[in-house]
Every structure is written in structure tokens, then in C-alpha cells.
Structure 1
Amino acid sequence: MEKFSQHTGSVVPFDRANIDTDQIIPKQFLQKTTRTGFAQHLFHDWRFLDDDGLQPDPSFILNKPEYQGVSILLARENFGCGSSREHAPWAIQEFGFQVVMASSFADIFYGNCINIGMLPVVLEESVIDDLFNQTAQGPLELTVDITKMVVINGDKQYPFTLTEFQKYCLENGVDAVGWTLEISDKIDSFEHNLPAWQ
């Protein structure tokens, strides 16, 4: 996965709470064994008027011209609830989003985002409300800085948190498996020095 230290992008205000993984990527599109090909089905039941995904719903926010090319998804609480399917963050990332902001996330979804190098940012509900109010006034561009652990909005800064391990993985472009491989020499040495009875 790619390294992530800072990102500046436009925001799409997706003003819904409790968006579950079946809404993000419906179960009928989970047959693929690779991480690609899911973006076309992202929010399928909301984006399209037909089952085949050939008739975009012009009223759905991601189909509106002003939100083409956005890279920051702003949502409400409990984003990514439901099943543990990894396909949900895969679809969001492949669509072009690098950051998802909400006041809370489902734990497994949050971890799955970190594992693929997409940043889930938890902000205070009052901050989320303020950002939604700003998007109602016109386009909003934000900068997310992992080094400083802040979201920058003009002269305002909103802090967020990551564990040291999550920050390390994102900044270095590695998942848990990649991190383990980085210390394989230490693991080999530890195993070599174990007494035979262990």
C-alpha cells in the first residue's frame, strides 16, 4: 500500500448515519477474489435506479457534477457498521476516497481502512456538524496531516488520534503483515534461541 502522511482534497458531505457495509457494497457484488472492481458498485442501491447499475440516480450526491473527483468522504456516526467485509473499504478507496471522516466508526471497518492505507478520521460530533454546515455554503477543501494529527480547515485545526502502530503503518505504507516481515530477522533470532523443549 502507498505511504500516507498528508492529503489535501475536496469533501463530499454524505449526511447519513449508521451506513452499513451492505449499503456500501451490497452482498451480490462480493464474488471477486481481488481488491479491484468494487468501485463501480459503491453505494449501488443509492447510486443507481436499476439493479444492473446502468441508470445513475441524478439526485444521489456522488452522481452530481460538483462532486466528481472528491477524495474526502464526510459522514455521520457509526460509519461502516454491519458485517466485517473488507470489500467495503476496498470499494471506497478504489472509487477515489483517501479519507473518511465521521464522529464514530464500526471497529472492524476502522481497522480494515488502516490495513489498506485509507485514513478513517474520528472527529467530535460538533466538528462534524460544523463541517456539514460549511459544505452547505459551497465547496470545502481540507488538509489531513498524520504527522501533526490534525485536520486543517483554513485557520482552524481539528485534532484526531491514531495509535502509534496505526500511524507507523500509514506513514510507512505497510499493513500488519508488512510490519511483521520488517522484523523477520528478530523473529528468526528469537526462534533460533528458544530452548528445544519450548
Structure 2
Amino acid sequence: MKTFGGSVLYLDRSDINTDEIIPAKYLTEITKEDLKPYILEDLKLPGFDPKGAKTREARVIVSRANFGCGSSREHAPWVFEVNDITAVVAESFARIFRQNMFNCGMAAIELPKEKIDLLFSYAGYPDTTMAVDVAGQTVTVRGGGKEETISFAISPFDKALVLAGGWVDYADTKY
């Protein structure tokens, strides 16, 4: 079974769009793997380096509201997939982006603002990690000698998609 979680990349902004996740100029690439070096290339945040170690080591992204807005391109979740990012935790997601995450076997977890703020309180600890238990519907953040577990909701169908590894694997088991 796939492991969800690991090092956390904090992107402290709302409305991060799909063109910032993977710029449109790379949509002509032939394979998902070809997208890998361009993850978050056009995202502008103070102190953020898309080529830096924090981005390369990230397995979970924590962000604010309306994550994945803009174009409905499936390439945005694909670039996370090929960079081993297994979960995005945000206040809300653009509907199509969220479903594309589930369809690709990745977790898109919505939490209320106060819980996102709590997760951001761990951003300053260099040892921060997050474990995501999709089956148990919890995220556990650890860092700075502290730990917090938060429950989240996910529909039974979307949970089944994620646990199966995505739509194709789910369909193979059901049809």
C-alpha cells in the first residue's frame, strides 16, 4: 500500500493556480516524468525556491484556500505525482483539481482555516513531517518536539480511489 506523508512544503498563499503548479509551456511534454523538473516553476512567494531542497524533499504540501484553481489540466497533479508528493492539505481546492488528485491516487485534504493555521505553526521547525492516514482519515504533524493529529472528511468513493492508487487501478478491481 502507498505511504502518504513525509517532509512538508508550506506554500502560504491562497489561489495557487495550475499554471503556477506546472506552467502551460510544458504541456507539450510527452510523459509525466518529463514534467518533473518544472514543478512550481512560476510560483512566486517570498523565500520560495522551486529548485531548492525543500521542494525536492517534499511529500506533502500545505497551503491556503482555492488550491489548484485556473485551468482544469491534469498535468498539475501529474507533476506532484512524479515528484513523489502524495498529499496536498488546504482550506479548499478547485473542484476539478481536487478530483484529478483523487483520480491519480493522491490525497487532497480539506481542513478548516483554524486547522490550516495550526499546521502552519509547524512551518518553522526544520524537522516537520506529516503522516496522512487516508483509511483512518487523519493527518498527524510532528515537529519541534510537538505532535498534533487532525481528522478530515473524505467521501467513501474518493477514499476508495486514493486507496486503490487512482481511477485506473480502482476500475481494474471493480470492472
Say yes or no: TM over 0.5.
Answer: yes
Deviations along 1:126-164, one digit per CA (max 9) or x if unpaired, are 111111122124431111101210112355321111111
User: Does the aligned pair in 2 maintain the 1:11–1:139 contact within 8 Å?
Assistant: no
Query: Is residue 107 of structure 2 the alignment partner of residue 119 of structure 1?
Result: yes
Cα 1:68–1:35 shift into 2, 3 Å: closer
Segments of structure 2 that go 5 or more residues without pairing to the other structure are none
Aligned residue number for residue 29 of structure 1: 26
The aligned amino acid for 1:70 is A
CA change 1:137–1:108 in 2 (3 A) is same
| Contact residue 56 and residue 83 of structure 2 kept, 8 A | no
SS in 1 for 2:67: coil
- Deviating above 4 A after TM superposition, structure 1's stretches of 4 or more consecutive aligned residues are none
Q: Find 1:38's aligned residue among 22, 35, 38.
A: 35
Q: Which of these residues, 6, 9, 14, is aligned with residue 9 of structure 1?
A: 6
Secondary structure at 1:73's aligned position in 2?
Answer: strand
* Larger RCO, structures 1/2 (Cα 8 Å, 6+ apart): 1
As a proportion of its length, which structure holds more strand? 2
1:70 to 54, 58, 73: 58
Q: Partner of 1:196 in structure 2? A: none
Report the RMSD for the aligned CA atoms in angstroms. 2.2
- 1:83 equivalent to 2:60? Answer no
Structure-2 residue corresponding to 1:142: 130
Change (3 A) 1:126 1:147: same
Percent of aligned pairs with the same residue?
32
> Displacement, 1:59?
3.8
Q: Return closer, same or farther for 1:153/1:77 CA change in 2, 3 Å cut-off.
A: same
